[in-house]
Amino acid sequence: MPVRSPDTLRVIDLRIVTELHAKIREIPYGTGSRFTPEKGCLPGIRMAFLDFIVNWVDNPNSERSLVLFGQAGTGKSSIAHEVARRFDKLHRLTSSFIFLRKEQSKREAYHLFTTLARDLSDRYPSFKAALGEVIKDNTSLRVGTRDYPTLFQSLILEPLKDLHIVGPILIVIDALDESGDVTGGNELHKFLAKTSQDFRRTSVC
Ligand SMILES: Nc1ncnc2c1ncn2[C@@H]1O[C@H](COP(=O)(O)OP(=O)(O)OP(=O)(O)O)[C@@H](O)[C@H]1O
Ligand SMILES: [Mg+2]
């Protein structure tokens, strides 16, 4: 067997990493899904709400999900964009996903999970390596499914399972009711309610 020089090995390593990155980039990313800093709250407004949410994020004993309910126009989206803006500034926001009814064709409901997988892999090199292992020989997982449980299990939980991540993985989602959930009902809501329990079980906090 021919002996490879260290330089040849490095070139092969680089090629493998580049191929892995290209495969991860095949996973669909939610176009325009990111929060918009300018849509945050006006200074001095909604302070009690914002303080409550910041404390919720910082408290390791908090429940894993926090849902804002309110009538139309009461400022839920402003709060969501503001929370995302503040934590992003501190490099503590992992992902944000803003649904908009008029953009349902560009931003489908299942993109929530694929976008989160891409954001996690941008943020944590160890997650990227683990995700690469899961999807590298599996085209159907990269581009062939919209099934929430499959995507969540394969693109999020599986790569996370042996990783130790310090601090909370913060995800801000706005306007779930505008997600255009293909089930036509509230399956995405139900699925997210269940998955927040799975997050607790993986001890990721
Ligand atoms: N704290 C705030 N700071 C700045 N603007 C606000 C605030 N709260 C509400 N607004 C303004 O009020 C309008 C409605 O707010 P927003 O879109 O956040 O409400 P919402 O609860 O998300 O409504 P919907 O249920 O229709 O999505 C927006 O134009 C927004 O700019
Ligand atoms: Mg809103």
Q: Could you tell me if residue 1 is inside a domain?
A: no
Position 202 scores a pLDDT of 43
* 80: nearest Cα among 92, 63, 68, 94: 68
CA–CA dist 111, 47 (Å, integer):
31
Q: Half-sphere exposure of 2 toward its Cβ, with a 13 Å CA cutoff? A: 5
Nearest atom, ligand 1, residue 78 CA: 18
Q: How many domains does the chain have?
A: 1
Choose one of 77, 176, 177 to mutate for the ligand 1 pocket test, by most ligand atoms within 8 angstroms of C-beta.
77
- Nearest residue (CA) to ligand 1, atom 9: 75
CA–CA dist 1, 49 (Å, integer):
66
3-state SS, the chain, equals CCCCCHHHHHHHHHHHHHHHHHHHHHCCCCCCCCCCHHHCCCCCCCHHHHHHHHHHHHCCCCCCCCCCCCCCCCCHHHHHHHHHHHHHHCCCEEEEEECCHHHCCCCCCCHHHHHHHHHHHHHCHHHHHHHHHHHCCCHHHHHCCCCHHHHHHHHHHHHHCCCCCCCCCEEEEECHHHCCCCCCCCHHHHHHHHHHHHHHHCCCC
Q: Per-residue confidence of the chain (205 residues) as pLDDT tens digits?
A: 666 777 766 676 788 888 999 999 999 999 999 999 999 998 888 889 999 999 999 999 998 889 999 999 999 999 999 999 999 999 999 999 999 988 877 889 999 999 999 999 999 999 999 999 999 999 999 999 999 999 999 999 999 999 988 888 999 999 998 987 755 566 888 898 888 776 654 433 2
Q: Could you tell me if residue 33 is inside a domain?
A: yes
Q: Could you tell me if residue 48 is inside a domain?
A: yes
Ligand 1 site residues, Cβ closer than 6 angstroms: 41-42, 45-46, 70, 72-78, 175
Choose one of 42, 49, 78 to mutate for the ligand 1 pocket test, by most ligand atoms within 8 angstroms of C-beta.
78
CA distances from 52 to 29, 49, 56 (A): 31, 5, 6
Nearest atom, ligand 1, residue 46 CA: 1
Q: Could you tell me if residue 75 is inside a domain?
A: yes
- Nearest residue (CA) to ligand 1, atom 10: 75
Nearest atom, ligand 1, residue 178 CA: 27
Q: Could you tell me if residue 41 is inside a domain?
A: yes
Q: Could you tell me if residue 79 is inside a domain?
A: yes
Which residues have a beta carbon within 5 Å of ligand 2, which is an ion? Answer: 76-77
- Nearest residue (CA) to ligand 1, atom 4: 41
Domain extent at residue 53: 6-204
Ligand 2 centroid distance, CA of 75 (Å): 7
- Nearest residue (CA) to ligand 1, atom 5: 41
Position 205 scores a pLDDT of 27
Q: Could you tell me if residue 149 is inside a domain?
A: yes
Q: Could you tell me if residue 83 is inside a domain?
A: yes
